Amino acid sequence: MTDVPIDAAIAEEELVEGSSLWKDAWARLRKNKLAVGSLFVFVFICLFCFVGPLLSPYDATAQDLFAGAEGPSAEHWFGTDTLGRDLMVRVMEGGRISLLVGLVATVVALAIGVIYGATAGYVGGKVDASMMRFVDLLYALPFTIFVILLMVAFGRSLWLMFVAIGCVEWLSMARIVRSGVLSLKKQEFVEAAVSLGYSHRRIIVRHLIPNVLGPVIVIATLTVPAVMLLEAFLSFLGLGVQPPNASWGVLINEGQTNMEIYPWLLLFPAGFFAVTLFCLNFIGDGLRDALDPKSAKD
């Protein structure tokens, strides 16, 4: 019988456990055709938006009034808008901004939500109760109205929009992180780790983060489309991204004003927007099923 130090044996076991959790999740995700398909389409759309403009001969803001509002053709695949700008490049540039807003505002929401939720869950007791009651209260408020007023009051800058949207979308994040921390605090293996004298840092790094990471990834993935929706909503009302810059919301707004005559101006940006939201939602659902088999639909 070989002499294995108990601690090393435990560590080894932990590693095996840890990697197999993510491996299992990956295997489950790969079986989900809808999620994998969505991932491919989403990657394609990202490449299209971020690499596309470099390959296109047209400039997003270059007007060509003689070629105004032409339908899709061999030269302009998506047609041109009323000012003769190539719609495909505009859709690409718009996508860049929409996706970027989605990403950055999600990071803002993530930061606020994780800090708030983890604090509430970790401190617990009355602090936790009142912090979460505050979240409940905010949940019930007409936030879009405040975002609108905020955008009117402080000018329509992209950065303000990131912050404003982030401030709205952190609520679910906080709830999920808090419930994760709370349930973890009660679990025996954390108590065991504490009683074994492991440091806080070790407990947080080895137990807390891996256990909360799954739900946070899922909710973050699902927050991106929600954020993009809000951005497009603001841009549609003329409060978001300002022309001549474009986001998908701006393009949809431009498209709908002229849709009787130039329907492609609406259909292309709306199509890209809807497909992107579709993909992100399916990826999020797939991740949830993969990371938490218990919550899987059936």
Partner 1 sequence: MLKFIAMRLLQGVLVLLGIYAVTFLLVAATPGSPFSSERAIAPEILAQIEAFYGYDRPLGERFITSLGNFVQGEFGPSAVYANRTVTQIIAESFPVSLTLGSISLGLALLLGVPAGILAAVKRNTWLDYIPMSVSMAGICLPTFVMGPLLALVFGLILQWLPVAGWYGPEFAILPATTLGLYYAAYFARLTRGGMLEMLNQDWVRTARAKGVAESTIIWKHCLKGGLIPAITFLGPALAGIISGSFVVETIFQIPGLGQWFVRAALNRDDFLVLGLTVLFAAMIVLMNLLVDIVQVALNPRLKYD
DSSP H helical segments within the chain, as ranges?
6-31, 33-55, 87-123, 125-139, 143-153, 158-186, 188-195, 200-203, 209-236, 248-257, 264-291
User: According to CB under 8 A, which one of 145, 159, 188, 197 is a site residue for partner 1?
Assistant: 145
CA distance 247 to 269: 9
Q: Does residue 173 contact residue 114 with C-beta atoms inside 8 Å?
A: yes
Out of 42, 58, 236, 268, the residue judged to bind partner 1 by CB under 8 A = 236
Nearest to 236 by CA among 139, 171, 144: 144
Among the residue ranges 24-32, 72-80, 179-187, 236-244, the one whose residues contact partner 1 (CB under 8 A): 236-244
Q: Does 140 bind partner 1 (CB under 8 A)?
A: yes
Segment interacting with partner 1, rule: CB under 8 A, options 11-19, 47-55, 207-215, 231-239:
231-239
Q: Does 209 bind partner 1 (CB under 8 A)?
A: no
8 binds partner 1 (CB under 8 A): no
Distance CA 262, CA 279 (A): 27
Residue 105 identity? A
> Which CB, 68 or 271, lies closer to partner 1?
271
In the list 117, 240, 255, 284, the residue contacting partner 1 (rule: CB under 8 A) is 255
The answer to whether 137 contacts partner 1 (rule: CB under 8 A) is yes
Asked if 266 touches partner 1 (CB under 8 A), the answer is yes
Q: In the complex, what is the shortest distance from the CB of residue 259 to partner 1, in angstroms, rounded to a whole number?
A: 5
Q: Which residue has the tokens 């994780």?
A: 114
> Omega into 293 within 30° of 0, i.e. cis?
no
Indicate whether 253 belongs to the interface with partner 1 (CB under 8 A): yes
Q: Which is nearer to partner 1, 181 or 230 (CB)?
A: 230
Minimum separation from the CB atom of position 49 to partner 1 (A): 17
Residue 186 class from Cβ within 10 Å (0-12 exposed, 13-18 middle, 19+ buried)? exposed
Cβ count near 64 (within 10 Å): 15
Applying CB under 8 A, the span of 24-32, 88-96, 114-122, 256-264 interacting with partner 1 comes to 256-264
Q: How far apart are CA 67 and CA 203, in angstroms?
A: 64
Q: Which residues bind partner 1 (CB under 8 A)?
A: 137, 139-146, 148-150, 152-154, 225, 229, 232-233, 236-238, 249, 252-253, 255-256, 259-260, 263, 266, 270, 273-275, 277-278, 281-282, 297-298
